Amino acid sequence: MISGTAIVIAAVLLSSVMALAWWVVVSSGRSGWADTFWSYGTGLVGVVAVWWSAVGMMTGRTLLVMALLALWSLRLGTHIARRTLSGGDDPRYAELRRGWGERYRSQLFVFLYIQGAAALVLVVAALAASANPAPLGLGDALGVVIALLAIAGEAVSDAQLRAFKADRANAGRVCDLGLWSLSRHPNYFFEWLYWLAYIPIGVSLAYPWGWLTLLAPAMMYWLLVHVSGVPPLEAHMLRSRGDRFLAYQERVRAFWPIPK
């Protein structure tokens, strides 16, 4: 059973993390810190919540979920932190700032707290998976394979985009190489895939709480495809790349890495 105390602790910690993220972004002028704090914060708070929920009854599944959370968080948070330190900024936030205008600071605060609420949903899904009382089995193995594939796929897509941007000959062009030839946002696809991994880990016939794991991939798909992922980024790309990005949209699907 999921610990209500662990959820409350997670909510308080995530609120603190996102408040700090807002202050750092506003003070530094670098929006990339928002997602850095979110990535590290979600992973750390998730590990703490799972540990708190399992005190005195630690299981192999508890340790597995904590390890997967930590691996995902360290990989993604470090990638975004390095990009931010190098001077790169997230075009999605630039697009949002353009729309918010003079209300930028207050709107950013609300937006980051919504991000914190989304992180809490992910933590609850991880808690549900870790509390599954069934013995470790094939479902857990499948979950590990999905999670590792997702983390590796997202890392490869990030590396391919970074290498493309580093080549000055590609200035003004659209990255359509490697995984980016299969999806316009392969990093988003693999991010969604990662949260799908908790379903086979948490779902079992005798454990109804396990179905809460479906919340994570469902919410991530909605956010990435319809809210804070694809829409603002593609609006920026259409403004900065014009017809080249329009042609890319014609050739390649936005999310699913399958031929159009």
Mean pLDDT of successive 10-residue segments in the chain (260 residues)? Answer: 88 97 93 94 97 88 98 97 84 81 92 96 97 95 98 98 94 95 98 98 94 97 93 91 95 93
Query: How much is the pLDDT for 88?
Result: 65
Position 247 in a domain: yes
- Is 44 inside any structural domain? yes
The residue segments making up the domain with residue 242 are 4-251
CA atoms within 13 A on the CB side of 210: 18
| Interatomic CA distance for residues 208 and 203, integer angstroms | 8
Work out the burial of residue 101: count CB atoms within 10 Å of its CB; fewer than 13 is exposed, 13-18 middle, 19 or more buried.
Answer: exposed
Judged by DSSP in three states, 184 sits in coil
Q: What one-character DSSP code corresponds to residue 212?
A: G
Structure tokens at 254: 């936005």
Residue 115 is assigned to a structural domain of this protein: yes
Biggest distance spanned by C-alpha atoms of the chain: 60
Residue 256 in domain: no
Q: Is residue 260 part of a domain?
A: no
Looking at the domain assignment, is residue 257 inside a domain? Answer: no
Helix or strand or coil: residue 35? helix
Instruction: Tell me the C-alpha distance between 246 and 260, whole Å.
Output: 14
Report how many domains make up the chain. Answer: 1
24 part of a folded domain: yes
pLDDT at 182: 97
Question: What stretch of H or E contains 106?
Answer: helix 104-130
Which pLDDT score, from 0 to 100, does residue 94 have?
78
